[in-house]
Every structure is written in C-alpha cells, then in structure tokens.
Amino acid sequence: MSTDEPMPTDVEPAATVATEPEDPQPEADHPHAGVAAEGFSTPLDDFPGHEASCGEITVKRGGAPTDIKFPISPPAVIGRFDPAVGPVDVDLASLPEGSYVSRKHAKITCDNNVWTLSDMGSSNGTFILRSDFERVDESEIKDGDEFALGNARFVFHVLDVCEPQA
C-alpha cells in the first residue's frame, strides 16, 4: 500500500501487549500448590451446613504423602466437578488419579468429633486401609488413616475439633 492511499476504515486497531503485573505471584512447585483446582472451593464459615476446615486429606503417590492437600469442612463431598451433577467440595478432576473418581464419590462427615467416610454409590469403590485395603460403604476414620477412592490414595488428618453440623 502506498503512502498516498487512505487507510481502510474497517481495519481493527493493533492488539495491545499485556504487561506483567507489578506483584507477580510466586510460581508453584506443582500445579496444586496454594491454588484451588477448578470447581473446588473452601466453604465459607457461614455457608449453611459447613464449618471452617477442621480436617484435610493429603494425596499419596508411590506409597508416600505428597504436598497436595485438600481442606475438609464437614460435610464434604469428594469427587469430580460436572455441570450436570453440580459442584463438589473437593474436586479431584485435575489430578491424574481423578479419572478413577466418580463425580460424587464419597462424603466425609463429623458428628460429635467422630469422623465418617461414606461411599456415595461410586463406580470404583471407597476403601479404608486396615491390615489391607477393604471396600466400605461407610466407616469411621481417624487421624492418620489411609483411604482410597478408586485408585486415588489419601491420608486423612484432623486439624481441629469439628463443630456440630447444621
């Protein structure tokens, strides 16, 4: 185009280049460090039926705990987010093991400081490690207990006394 020709009027202006924020967030050492996965949120203290986090589950891989932890605010539904089924309290969809976890796989509750893990009709089962992994429909869990949802393995930890559920 020569300099004598007028500029076309239907041309979009050039895109602006995004600049880095002044305070960039530190990079995580793994994809889940300090970041809530899609579909996962920690319930607010005043959200009906949920209390502040008083437990957590830690992902295990190769027999060893990882630094991937999910807060538990009972009652907490564990599974994979699906718009057709609705949100879950702990979304495992972003984990490699998540493909073996049902959309609403299990629920952790606490009543009078007795914690319970209940299967919610999952396809691949809920297991508690006793002398070996045993499939359960519902089982009491204690601090340090290991459990599996399908092939996803976890260690459960009590962080605080749980309050009565609404």
How many CB atoms sit inside 10 A of residue 45's CB?
11
- Is residue 21 included in any domain, yes or no? no
- How many structural domains is the chain composed of? 1
- Is residue 142 included in any domain, yes or no? yes
* pTM above threshold 0.75: no
* Domain CATH for 137: 2.60.200.20
Q: pLDDT tens digits for the chain (166 residues)?
A: 555 555 555 555 555 454 444 444 434 343 444 444 444 443 333 444 444 679 999 999 999 999 999 999 999 999 999 999 899 999 999 999 999 999 999 999 999 999 999 999 999 999 999 999 999 999 999 999 999 999 999 999 999 877 655 5
Buried b (16+ CB within 10 A) or exposed e, 59-95: bbeeeeebebbbbbbbbbbbbbbeeeeeebbbbbbbb
pLDDT at 6: 58
pLDDT at 162: 77
| Domain that includes residue 78, residue range | 55-158
DSSP, collapsed to helix, strand or coil, labels residue 137 as coil
How many CB atoms sit inside 10 A of residue 100's CB?
19
Spatial separation of the C-alpha atoms in residues 59 and 12, rounded to whole Å: 49
- Does the bond joining 65 to the residue before it have cis omega, within 30 degrees of 0? no
pLDDT at 96: 95
